[in-house]
Chain A
Amino acid sequence: MNTNTALLFRSPLKREDFRTGLLCLLPSAVIVFIFIIFPIFFSLFLSVHEWSILTSEMDFIGLGNFDRMIHSKEFWNTLKNTFVYTMGVVPVGAAASLGLALLLNRKVLASGFFRTAYFLPVITSTIAVAIVWFWIFDTNNGLLNIIIRKFGGTGIPWLSSSKYAMLSIIIVTIWKNAGYHMIILLAGLKAIPDEYYEAAQIDGASAVQKFFSITLPMISPALVFVLITNTIFSFQAFGQIYTMTGGGPSQSTSVIVYYLYQRAFEFQEMGYASAVAWVIFVILLLLTLLQLRLQRKDL
């Protein structure tokens, strides 16, 4: 502590603040150090080791795990799947959420009912949602194929064919999260001052013009937030894939976190899985930095 702070500490009030502050921060600090800071370093350590379950010995192998990853077809496949999944979920999801928010931003009777309806999947657990949709997607007796057959079509093997499985997962995810991002966008829409629209009205602007020259620019910070956070969420998708497809059929829905789960907890390759975790971390870090940049620009 430098002399400056020592001087400040002469004030007994500040001394009391400092003591109280230490006391208040201590519990959280202990938890953060044990459960976040320490594991990060341990994870770095693991990522350059090979850990065998048979001997439970750590062998230092340098960048061996990363080398194995680069040459693993499975790893690239999961990365590709994660990318496909994200590209499916994020833009369509944002458009759907914006649509819902715009609808609810009008003067609507029973708007509370509609908002609750769209919000229902958000407050339901991913696992329960995944189970219900697993049943809806069932090829033989699922609701979706019953409807398709009623209209004379042939049933689609939603989850049992590698052609449709990822699409099915994407549909469920959009359905589950649309209401969440709707809330954020709705808050953004409500923050736009009415005067802007009134002024545009006087100038004789059409609804489309108003949308593109007022609504969209005004809501773009919230929209950027939704796009980036949803991308970050998407890179961490796990529960619905674990429940609905188990990464299959033939690895078509195996995303990167599912790959990490299998490597770490089914094959006990803790070192290799930690290396995969760091790849996820770096990708998410870049996305977060992008978000911070874009948001600063918007402000």
Chain B
Amino acid sequence: MTTIKIAKSTILYIVLIALAVIFIFPFMWMVVSALKTDVQIFSYQAKFLPDPPQWKNFITAWKQIPLGRYYMNSMFVSGVITVFQVFTSALTAYVFARLYFPYKNVIFILYLGTMMIPTQVTIIPLFMVMRRLGLIDTYAALILPFLAYPYGTFLLKQFFSGIPTDLEDAARIDGYSRLRILFKIVIPLSKPALITLSMLSFMWSWNSFFWPLVVTNSSKRYTVQVGLAMLKNELAMSTEWSMLMAATVITVLPVLIFLIITQKYIIKGISISGLKG
């Protein structure tokens, strides 16, 4: 009986570990490739570990490629988008969760319905409008279309609706206005939901690619994703693999570590989407 149990759990852990290797190994390969010389990369007797590790690859990549610039662009764009999305989502969610407003349920459904419209439909006209306004290759073009986020409204509305109204009722008796209640009571009580939303917004805008690709055309405005894609076109052509991997490591690792630390919130945000449809 116990031997069967031990055998079973051994198999379970072997499977778990094998899968973990499949998911982690490409990241390790990226790091070790970044630390190799071209000779080591192209040698048929390829060794797994770089010998000796070429730490200077990172410095070369950082100096040769405007990675710092891409970082700043992405940080700025994603930061502004996240702050605004959380703000506009909290305002709208509060209306739908608490306020009296004519036809608010219809408006809510219609608002969520806009999420079903694929970006491909709006992207061409948006591009033409941006070009007409002379906004191509500006931060405005990267940021403006994403200041509102229906899923954020949905997420916060769910959370706001779950907060007991006692405190708010008491505040109303004390003569608080609705807006003051939102900012003094509801928002402070909703920190976990707000962090979840911020993380989702940040991750989404940091990783977005199609629109930034279309609307930028100089390395002055490239986001990290567009910069990386352009870099790949250049470096893969000249088979500078270690340089390409070094640049990828530099741009991926810090954000990846940040997201690993905060993954609890991201996971929560994703779980909610599945449970509620």
Contacting pair B100 A18 (CB below 8 A): yes
Collect the chain B residues with CB atoms within 8 Å of residue A132's CB: 26-27, 29-30, 245, 248
CB–CB B20/A16 < 8 A? no
State whether the Cβ of A100 lies closer than 8 Å to any Cβ in chain B: yes
Give CA–CA (A132, B259) in the complex, Å: 19
- In this complex, the member of A16, A106, A125, A288 whose beta carbon has the largest number of chain B beta carbons within 10 angstroms is A125
Say how far A1's CB is from chain B's closest CB, in angstroms: 7
- CB-based contact A124/B256 at 8 Å: yes
Contact call B271/A108, Cβ cutoff below 8 A:
no
Beta-carbon contact of B121 and A43 below 8 Å: yes
Q: Say yes or no: B16 contacts A141, CB within 8 Å.
A: no
Once the chains bind, are B263 and A32 in contact (CB under 8 Å)? Answer: no
Which B residues, 168 to 210, have Cβ-Cβ distances below 8 Å to chain A? 177-179, 203, 206-207, 209-210
**Main SS class of interface, A:** helix
CB within 8 A of A264: which of B13, B124, B241?
B124
CA distance A179 to B260 in the complex (A): 13
Q: Closest approach, in angstroms, between the C-beta of A145 and any C-beta of chain B? A: 10
Is A205 an interface residue, CB under 8 A from the partner?
A: no
Contact A127:B270 (CB < 8 A) given known A27-B147, A108-B16, A141-B241: no
Separation of A234 and B107 alpha carbons in the complex (Å): 29
Decide yes or no whether A164 CB sits under 8 A from chain B: no
Q: A70 within 8 Å of B by Cβ? A: no
Max chain B Cβ within 10 angstroms of own Cβ: one of A124, A131, A134, A291 = A131
Is the beta-carbon distance between A46 and B24 smaller than 8 angstroms? no
Interchain CB contact under 8 A, B229 and A284? no
B105 within 8 A of A: no
Chain A, range 180-204, C-beta contacts under 8 Å to B: 180, 183-188, 191
- Which one of A27, A265, A270 contacts B91 once the chains associate, using CB atoms below 8 Å? A27
Residues of chain B contacted by A175 (CB below 8 angstroms): 22-23, 26
Report chain B residues within 8 Å CB of A42: 125, 128-129
Number of chain B interface residues as a range: 35 or more
- How long is the Cα–Cα vector from A38 to B128 in the complex, in angstroms? 12
- Among B15, B125, B178, contact of A43 (Cβ-Cβ < 8 Å): B125
Give the distance to chain B from A16, nearest Cβ to Cβ, in Å. 6
Taken residue by residue from 257 to 299, chain A's Cβ proximity to chain B (1 for < 8 Å, 0 otherwise) reads as 1001100110000100110011011001100100100010000
Q: Known: A17-B101, A188-B274, A243-B229. Contact between A126 and B207, CB under 8 A?
A: yes
Contact B99 A20 (CB under 8 A): yes
Cross-chain contact of A20 among B144, B178, B241, B244 (Cβ < 8 A): B178
Report if A28 contacts B (CB, 8 A): yes
Least CB distance, B203 to chain A, in whole angstroms = 6
Given A35-B126, A257-B120: A118 and B23 interface contact (C-beta under 8 Å): yes
Residue of A whose beta carbon sits closest to that of B181:
A20
Contact partners of A143 in chain B: CB under 8 A = 29
Contact between chains at A25 and B91 (CB < 8 Å): yes
Which of chain A's residues have a CB closer than 8 A to the CB of B271?
183-184, 186-187
Q: Tell me, yes or no, whether A214 is within 8 Å of chain B by CB.
A: no
| Interface membership of A61, Cβ < 8 A | no
The A-contacting residues of B in range 1-54, CB under 8 angstroms, are: 12-13, 15-16, 19-20, 22-24, 26-27, 29-30, 33, 41-42, 46
Cβ-based interface call for A89 (8 A): no
Query: Given the complex of chains A and B, what is the CA–CA distance between A1 and B99 in angstroms?
Result: 18
Interface hits, B103-148 → A, CB 8 Å: 104, 107, 111, 114, 116-129, 144-145, 147-148
CB of A184 within 8 A of CB of B273, answer yes
CB atoms of A123 and B274 under 8 A apart: no
Task: Decide if A239 touches B203 in the complex (CB within 8 Å).
Answer: no
Most chain B CB within a 10 A radius of its CB, from A43, A226, A236, A242: A43
Q: How close is A295's CB to chain B, nearest CB, in angstroms? A: 5
Give min CB distance, A179 to chain B, whole Å: 7
A217 sits at the interface (CB 8 A): no
Please determine whether A277 and B120 come into contact, CB atoms closer than 8 angstroms. yes
- Contact of B29 with A39 in the complex, beta carbons under 8 Å: no
CB of B88 within 8 A of CB of A28, answer yes
Chain A: minimal CB distance from B273 (Å): 7
Q: Does B82 contact A (CB under 8 A)?
A: no
* Residues A119 and B267 in contact in the complex (CB < 8 Å), given A100-B19, A124-B256, A239-B209: yes
CB neighbours of A265 from chain B (8 A): 127, 214
Is A222 interfacial (CB 8 A cutoff)? yes
A68: which B residues are within 8 A, CB to CB? none
Instruction: Report Cα–Cα, A94/B207, bound state, in Å.
Output: 23
Task: Report the minimum CB–CB distance from B170 to chain A (whole Å).
Answer: 15
Query: Are B92 and A184 within 8 A (Cβ)?
Result: no
Most central of B12, B145, B178, B259 by chain A CB within 10 Å:
B178
What is the CB-to-nearest-CB distance from B154 to chain A, in angstroms, rounded to a whole number? Answer: 12
CA distance A38 to B31 in the complex (A): 46
Could you list some 5 contacts between A and B, CB below 8 A?
Answer: A18-B101, A25-B91, A103-B15, A125-B252, A285-B116
Given A186-B271, A277-B120: 13 more A-B contacts, CB < 8 Å: A25-B91, A32-B114, A43-B121, A108-B16, A116-B260, A118-B19, A126-B225, A128-B248, A187-B274, A221-B277, A222-B274, A236-B118, A264-B123
Closest 10 CB pairs of A and B: A184-B274, A42-B125, A187-B271, A24-B91, A39-B122, A39-B125, A17-B100, A117-B20, A21-B101, A31-B148
